[in-house]
Structure 1
Amino acid sequence: AEAPRAPRSVVSTSLSLSLSLTLPRPRRVMSVARALARPRGSVRCSRFGRNRSRGGLAAAAREPARSSAPRGRGGTDEDGVQPAARSVRARAYAPPETGVLRPHESFPEAKSRRERESAQVEARVVEVETLEALNEQLAAAGDSTLVVVEIESMEVCEASDTGEPLPEEFWRPTKEERMQPCGQLRHTLQRCARNCPDARFVSLDATSARGAEVAAALGVRKLPTLRFYRGGRLLWAHEGFTNSATELGQGVLYYGEGSADAVVTQLRDLADLDAFLARAEPGQLCVVDVSLTNDARCINMYPAVVSLAKAMRAKGAGQATFARLIGDRDESSREAMANLSVYAVPAFLFFRDGRKVGEYLGSSRADLLGKVLEMQGADGIFGSRMRT
């Protein structure tokens, strides 16, 4: 006859004693013993602090989660459901196509919003396949509108030639992981297209043979490549995915004619400079950013100039005012740059009451901020505010 089986508790105890001879950690022994003593088909869910059947996240979301807030005092929302349980339920039942829900937004509203945003992106980003179609887009933009052209491939995602060790993305094992930086650049381009109505956006897919021929005709060496045009002329290009999303935003800000022009006056010649200095209040500091069209350091410094201009304007009257002169735009701008004796860029010239009182040559945002604060404090504006 078969010998009677020992109770489960006896088996667990003897097993834990035998494991204690080989496993030095008591916590691991207790974990094994508890797992064997637990009824079959149950799972420990630390998020909810109790044993639940294997029903997945949806089954766990059907029961309200514990909350540290007292009942009746913010522990539940208007539907009587605790916030923790609602967040888990949302993740369990949210349709994947709706994306991230905004506050007070239902799933149908989120889906409708995403569809509208996708339609806006499709209308703003023009896809071309031939060199003739690209030239038509450049001609339609005219002489003043910025055109951003992204040349990409669904098969290749290359790093930029920075002279530094290859980034981590280059050594990723799978193709999907290696293509991830290019996907992020594509999303950044879509956001820029949706939020920058003053520029045109064009996309060229170099995956096909026809697209590869167009990329070769343009002299593209790496994919993806960003190219900025105005008046049919190439202003600047960035090759490879390294820092491509940042370069895209800085390029649109630097070459575009959008909100930055409201806080940074654009100068074209000496007459514009004289008018800018004449509009300044007595004793007000005037900062003139002298740059070149395709200099990477000038492009990198311009967001700091815009941020400083916005901060100074928000402080009120008497603060510094900013202007920018691109010295190689045309013959008038070259003459103005030579008249100001600027031979290196980026250069920042400081004026007060129509006279030049200082300058900063360099591409350090921190040093520029320190110089502006130093020159601004020379007339006692910052000093008086700090004393009060």
Structure 2
Amino acid sequence: MATIANFLLSKPPSSSPLPTLPAPLFFRHTTSSSPRRAKPKQPLFARPGRPRGLTLRATSATQKSSPPASDERVQKVHSAEEFDEALRAAKDRLVVVEYVDSRSASTSRMLPFMVQLSRQCNDVEFLLVMGDESEATRELCRREKVNKAPHFTFYKSMERIHDEEGIGPDQLVGDVLYYGDNHSAVKQLHSREDVEKLIEGHKADDKLIVLDVGLKNCGPCVKVYPTVIKLSKQMSETVVFARMNGDENESCMQFLKDMDVIEVPTFLFIRAGEIRGRYVGSGKGELIGEILRYQGVRVTY
């Protein structure tokens, strides 16, 4: 987990009870037992680790795959002017830029996979910059401070939100899902008011709300998110999944402070307007176990 250094004065013991929470609108703290807490593994804003086991339906990191018939969904960019225009045209959609080098062996391995990914993610724009193609592309790389290939940058609304270097297909899939998820069953929350509105809307139906709280540059948050997407589809009748990036804006960061979130990812379990508990960590099996436990299923570890 990544540690939010701003809030952490002393590390809580792994078996300590849940901290006392404030009582804003719709939130009432209950005294259920605290689930096990995973130990933090990564400082805030450190380079994300490489997750394991993420697979894309068309291929995987351990399978050889032939490139698709065409790469028309990957836009080749030959200058800074074309690059800037492509970012403007994408508006608020996620843009994934891969910088490659014609002499790089990693380029030949990753490029076919990115082409496949582009054909499956129609709401994401993919750009390709051949860094050693010309002086114009070399200048673009210098401007964007890209020194190695392959290098991936992620943009939204022309804002550079994330960088990756030396990653494999699984990590790329996780990043695209995490930063470009607009249409899954996971509700995207952008303020405290969004959280309160969601909770009020489900006070009557008694559905469990699982709120995934993370940060933009958080490797463990990216690692566990494909599992969150899968669970949101499998448990849609009984569980509502939502997520918030605490560093998206001041309202989100204040929400993390109010909820005493000191490590990410943190999953808050809410039912009938009450916070019933939380799980801190990115373990897929443990997350599933905690969700089942808060649904009343007896779980042993």
- TM-score (normalised: structure 2): 0.71
Equivalent residue letter for 1:332: S
In structure 1, the residue corresponding to 2:132 is in which secondary structure? coil
Task: Look up the SS of the partner of 1:259 in the other structure.
Answer: coil
Alignment match, 1:207: 132
- CA 1:258–1:268 in structure 2 vs 1: closer, same or farther (change >3 Å)? closer
Counterparts of 2:234 and 2:99 in 1: how far apart (Å)?
36
Please list the CA deviations of residues 11-52 of structure 1 after superposition, one character each: whole Å capped at 9, or x if unmatched.
Answer: xxxxxxxxxxxxxxxxxxxxxxxxxxxxxxxxxxxxxxxxxx
Deviations 1:166-185 (A, max 9, x none): xxxxxxxxxxxxx2x43231
> Quick check: which one's helix share is greater?
1
Q: 1:178-203: per-residue Cα shift (whole Å, max 9, x none)?
A: x2x43231122112221212111110
| Match among 369, 374, 377 for residue 288 of structure 2 | 369
| 1:295 is aligned to 2:295 | no
Distance 1:224 1:125 in 2: 15
Amino acid in structure 1 at the alignment position of 2:259? L
Q: Is the 8 A contact 1:269 1:335 kept in 2?
A: no
The whole-number CA distance in structure 2 between the counterparts of 1:232 and 1:282 is 40
Q: Where does the alignment leave 5 or more consecutive residues of structure 1 unmatched?
A: 1-113, 157-178, 383-388
Per the alignment, in what secondary structure is the counterpart of residue 293 of structure 1? Answer: coil
Task: Please point out which of 90, 94, 97 is paired with 1:146.
Answer: 94
Mapping 1:202-281, distance limit 5 Å: 202-210=127-135, 211-240=137-166, 242-243=167-168, 245-260=169-184, 263-280=185-202, 281=204
More strand by share: 2
Q: Does 1:346 align with 2:270?
A: no
Give the secondary structure class of the aligned counterpart of 2:295.
Answer: helix
Q: Which residue of 2 aligns with 1:322?
A: 241
Higher mean alpha-carbon deviation, 181-190 vs 220-229, is at: 181-190
Q: What whole-Å deviation, never above 9, does each CA across 1:67-126 have from its counterpart, x for those lacking one?
A: xxxxxxxxxxxxxxxxxxxxxxxxxxxxxxxxxxxxxxxxxxxxxxx7xx52xx32x221
Does the residue aligned with 2:149 lie in a helix, a strand or coil?
coil
Structure 1 residue identity aligned to 2:222: I
Aligned length: 230
1:377 aligned counterpart, secondary structure = coil
One-letter amino acid of the structure 2 residue matched with residue 278 of structure 1: E
- Partners of 1:282 and 1:259 lie apart in 2 by 23
Q: CA deviation at 1:254?
A: 1.0
What is the rounded CA distance, in whole Å, between the counterparts of 1:362 and 1:324 in structure 2? 14
Give the percent of matched residue pairs that are identical in Structure 1 and Structure 2.
32
Shift of 1:288: 0.1
Q: Deviations over 1:234-268 (max 9, x none)?
A: 1111112x42x1122111111114432xx111111
Question: What is the root-mean-square deviation in Å for CA atoms of aligned residues?
Answer: 1.9
Q: CA deviation at 1:209?
A: 4.1
Query: Which residue type is aligned with residue 272 of structure 1?
Result: D
Aligned partners of 2:194, 2:122: CA distance in 1, in Å? 26
CA distance in 1, matches of 2:251, 2:89: 26
Match of 2:115 among 190, 193, 217: 190
* 1:1-388 aligned within 5 A: 118=70, 121-122=71-72, 124-142=73-91, 144-156=92-104, 179=105, 181-210=106-135, 211-240=137-166, 242-243=167-168, 245-260=169-184, 263-280=185-202, 281-313=204-236, 317=237, 319-377=238-296
In structure 2, C-alpha distance between the alignment counterparts of 1:209 and 1:128, rounded to whole Å: 11
Output the CA distance in 1 between the equivalents of 2:81 and 2:205. Answer: 54
* Unpaired stretches in structure 2, ≥5 consecutive residues: 1-67
**Which whole-Å CA distance do the structure 2 matches of 1:224 and 1:343 have between them?**
34
Q: Which has the higher contact order (CA 8 A, sep 6+)?
A: 2
Q: Is the 8 A contact 1:152 1:204 kept in 2?
A: yes
SS at structure 2 position matched to 1:338:
helix
SS in 2 for 1:201: strand
Deviations 1:276-331 (A, max 9, x none): 11222543211000011121111111111111111112xxx3x2211001111122
One-letter amino acid of the structure 2 residue matched with residue 267 of structure 1: L
Tell me if the contact between 1:238 and 1:247 (Cα under 8 Å) persists in the aligned partners.
Answer: no
